[in-house]
Structure 1
């Protein structure tokens, strides 16, 4: 076998996808309620997306960041305004891990410090500092463990205050809705308290919006539910609707210097067109508001299931929790009901991260299928 075998694979081979549907070669039609790890934001093969990327590929697909790229400049103008973060500056890269890695690097440059605070059950990526700030020792190699990271309980403001008072922390990195960890959300007081403590101690606040950003929660960014102003905002997944795109928004108080950051593929012409098209479709189709409406329907349907112990998350970044390991149930949903869902570090949770174009009828299809499979159990 020529592939390095690191992925446990389901016996499904998609060859085509359209909106919320994925098709294999048999052909079997699957309802996609996972969006490939929350990546598909405006639906698979959205016609405007296909048209714009095809046209751009016919013009120029890539050149380096050593020359002017008007598409990058257009994205740098539109994204801060549409996201509600005017005056922030954009640095582009190609993945969420790379976005968090660069955010941590900027924080260290600005503060002159190297320690990081992260939270229990966090997931920030698999690269050097990002994986060290991820609460999963199994994926942290010895070379990553040299990073200085302290993990604190989510919600413990007193513990955070004690750590930041020492004055050696460059950044606090937090998911305002934890993704891989299991959709946990702390309190308004906690998140706003983090921001205040960071401002008081000269610490950079990094909002990890890699999974929650680009409208998934019903706001453009999950942190916008609270009165906070991060110095750095990382993003990726839904930003490109499947094209590898990542980036950080950087507060205007932070000055750029030549050579401070760099990337080969980040901000290439195709990546910019992908992100610009996503922004356009989010606005034209009112997908943020739509996400909240569908979320309300999802929550209402979940009330009919006594087996569901709770619905976690917001918007279309959701988890349904049971009192048993859901891995077998997820397999049944894939193989018997032809519905993709996601797992989490919390084994009792099923994650729901569909394209933002999902409709109530698709949510009904899921719950009808879930009823069938729960009756088997």
Structure 2
């Protein structure tokens, strides 16, 4: 049997990782400035993370959600305190797409409506409803397309108001990323988010903040939307939550009523996943990683902002999109193959995406800064 060939692959096979570095099967060392799509939040193989998982392996790895699991309670308590959402409730699942699926379903259960509003440039996942609110026709199969899903332009208040004026009473939820990642680090304006919240309240519509990529301290706030003082009805999270161990979460406002069987999952909230997520929260708190995210992100931006060929830098914390005056492929490949540094791209092919671990050190950022300057000067 062969693998189903859906991924364009770099010819690199990482076999070991530590902190912000990877090593391939030939012994070459790489700086990880992308974290596998913002997944690596506390660095590879952090000692506290390793020890908690190893200890749990000696106890129990999995049982279903038909029994009590005190690790789920510990995770919910710690997540509530660190995020500031202590009065919310937590549903655990396995991925960002699954978190968004459950959020959309829960919203529809709550108000009995079936239309969903999403935005241009959005990426919410590849599963049924999640891909239907993702702005990429290439990955929306005919079976996923439905007129219930309404697209509005990013940061366009006038269009938003017109849609709600015509269809507001039919819209179950609005789903929006705290910061759009795949689109190239597109940041909503405070006025835009405030207007969305205002219209949602007026029309009994649920506001879902997709913080799968922008959450967990990535922006310098625990969740990116919190910078703007807007209250979300539902928050979804995943990528940085488990530092590589698959886990997702739906944070649910207390106005939503739970009932037996309303939501469910086989693997969600298993013992190993919970321990991984608890370890991440412990490290984030003990090492003050939200502050480090702000500090290191600002340092990188200040150092590179005057480099040649950079048109614009969009950044919150350590979530950065570097917009070039050309396709970024040559720059990204040169960083990877000539300087051994992983970075990412975006749906806008001019944008280089930078998503290092939240505990990145200054001397590690300097490696990237020097390499990027060299590559850009040699274009």
TM bucket normalised to smaller: over 0.9
Corresponding residue for residue 28 of structure 2: 28
Q: Secondary structure at the match of 1:318?
A: strand
Corresponding residue for residue 335 of structure 1: 337
Any conservation in 1 of the 2:111–2:205 contact (CA below 8 Å)? yes
CA distance in 2 between counterparts of 1:35 and 1:260 reads: 34
Pair 364,304 (structure 1): closer, same or farther in 2 beyond 3 Å? farther
Corresponding residue for residue 17 of structure 1: 17
**How far off its partner does 1:196 sit?**
1.2
1:111 aligns with 2:103: no
CA distance in 2 between counterparts of 1:79 and 1:184 reads: 26
Structure 2: give runs of 5+ residues left out of the alignment.
none
**How far off its partner does 1:147 sit?**
6.0
Corresponding residue for residue 303 of structure 1: 305
1:291 aligns with 2:293: yes
Deviations, residues 102-160 of structure 1 (Å, cap 9, x unaligned): 00000111111111100000000000000000000000001111362111111112222
**How far off its partner does 1:376 sit?**
2.7
Deviations, residues 274-331 of structure 1 (Å, cap 9, x unaligned): 1111011000000000111101111111123032111112000101110100112111
**Equivalences for residues 109-188 of structure 1 within 5 A:** 109-146=109-146, 148-165=148-165, 166=167, 167-188=169-190
Deviations, residues 18-40 of structure 1 (Å, cap 9, x unaligned): 00000011100000000000000
Q: Secondary structure at the match of 2:143?
A: coil
CA distance in 2 between counterparts of 1:147 and 1:269 reads: 40
Number of aligned residues? 377
Corresponding residue for residue 37 of structure 2: 37
Q: Secondary structure at the match of 1:305?
A: coil
CA distance in 2 between counterparts of 1:24 and 1:131 reads: 33
Q: Which moved more, 1:133-142 or 1:359-368?
A: 359-368
CA distance in 2 between counterparts of 1:34 and 1:141 reads: 29
Q: Secondary structure at the match of 2:235?
A: strand
CA distance in 2 between counterparts of 1:362 and 1:74 reads: 33
Corresponding residue for residue 262 of structure 1: 264
CA distance in 1 between counterparts of 2:70 and 2:164 reads: 41
Deviations, residues 196-251 of structure 1 (Å, cap 9, x unaligned): 11111100000000001110111000010112111100000000000001010000
Any conservation in 1 of the 2:108–2:173 contact (CA below 8 Å)? yes
Q: Runs of 4 or more off by more than 3 Å in structure 1?
A: none
Scaled by the length of structure 2, what TM-score is found? 0.98
Corresponding residue for residue 281 of structure 1: 283
Any conservation in 2 of the 1:132–1:147 contact (CA below 8 Å)? no
